[in-house]
Amino acid sequence: MMKKEVSIAPMLDWTDSFFRRFVRLITQKATLYTEMIAEQAILKGDREKLLAFFPSEQPLVLQIGGSTPEIMAKDAKIAEDYGYKELNINAGCPSERVQAGAFGACLMAQPERIAQCLEQMQKASRIPMSIKTRIALETPENKDKDGYDELKNFVKITSEAGCRKFIIHARKARLKGFSPKENRQKLPLNYDVVYRLKDDFPHLNIQINGNIGSVEEIKHHLQFVDGVMIGRKAYADPYFLGQIDSLFYASKKPTPTRKQIVQSFLPLLESQEKPLSATRHLMGLYYKTPQSKLWKQTLMKNDLAAIIDFLKSDI
């Protein structure tokens, strides 16, 4: 029986090292992902800036955007040398900017190309590979279908190339005429398709993603799949993650209070030059509490002294 997993999705401009270290004060067990990093950036960019992480961020997965087998293989070896325990291929982002780089959701139409990448990456490193994708590309031909046949074919080809873990965002992707936001808001979710995939591929690790925002929903999905990936909810309401370790990993360690979390995060803020860019990740800490408005106002002052004053208050 596969071990169940709860993870936080890779989110561009959000899941940087500051956010990951903040989240680790709330959950030590949930799997974290980096922001997506393009294949060429890893090969030719500032690797220390792009890839370095703190040991406390583990378990941590590196998400790569790319489709060139030779480059992806070199990236895999570099990632292994940096200490990543898993590599995730982005085959689900519908952004036009990502499509221009020949990766993201457009790769759903090219499973053979991903298979070639996987084969080369596995020759170059021993890191387990996973794929994050969607159900299918929405086309005029399949607009009224659930997309399962396309998804099944995609998983069959890429799993035969060595991938054993798939995170499925449970909706289709439309590449033309829709922004990423419109893809989220206008295309319906279909969780049953992901459940069906697990039934047909019981030997694979199948995980689900898409508008999951409560522990009750996580519990429900874990009856049918091997893992649940939380997206925007983890950023908007990070303290909700404090339930993850005890409910899904049998941890006995109590969740710190919000003030304790801020207190623990202070040394990181103190190490920053002004403005305090990391404070943007803390905005949702008091989500839907009476202190929410004051907390946001405090952070917007971009002043460490104001945060310390907040911690000293009786609120």
* pLDDT of residue 311 exceeding 70: yes
CB–CB of 270/242 below 8 Å?
no
pLDDT > 90? residue 24: yes
Task: Report the percent of the chain where pLDDT is more than 90.
Answer: 83
Inter-CA distances, 168 with 43, 171, 193, 195, 230, Å: 27, 8, 10, 10, 12
Instruction: Report whether pLDDT(9) > 70.
Output: yes
Percentage of the residues of the chain whose pLDDT score is greater than 70: 97
| Catalytic machinery residues | 93
**Domain made up of 5-245: CATH architecture:** Alpha-Beta Barrel (3.20)
Q: What is the mean pLDDT of residues 154-162?
A: 98
Tens-place pLDDT, residues 177-187: 778 788 887 78
Which residues are 62's β-sheet partners? 87
**Domain assignments of the chain as residue spans, ordered by start:** 5-245, 258-312
Each residue's pLDDT tens digit, 235-276: 999 999 999 999 999 999 999 999 999 999 999 998 877 667
Q: What is the pTM of this model?
A: 0.95
**What pLDDT does 1 receive?**
65
Arithmetic mean of pLDDT, 73-90 = 97
Check pLDDT > 70 for residue 215.
yes
Cα gap 59→85, rounded to integer Å: 7
- Quick one: pLDDT band at residue 211, thresholds 50, 70, 90? very high
β-bridge partners, 90: 132
SS3 track for the chain: CCCCEEEECCCCCCCCHHHHHHHCCCCCCCEEECCCEEHHHHHHCCHHHHHCCCHHHCCEEEEEECCCHHHHHHHHHHHHHHCCCEEEEEECCCCHHHHHCCCHHHHHHCHHHHHHHHHHHHHHCCCCEEEEEECCECCCCCCCCCCHHHHHHHHHHHHHCCCCEEEEECCCECCCCCCHHHHHHHCCCCHHHHHHHHHHCCCCEEEEECCCCCHHHHHHHCCCCCEEEECHHHHHCHHHHHHHHHHHHCCCCCCCCHHHHHHHHHHHHHCCCCCCHHHHHHCCCCCCCCCHHHHHHHHHCCCHHHHHHHHHCCC
Two tokens at 130? 């996973």
More confident residue, 294 or 105: 294
Interval 86-138: pLDDT, tens? 999 999 988 876 766 678 989 999 999 999 999 999 999 999 999 999 999 98
Query: Measured over all CA atoms, what is the biggest interatomic distance in the chain, rounded to whole angstroms?
Result: 61
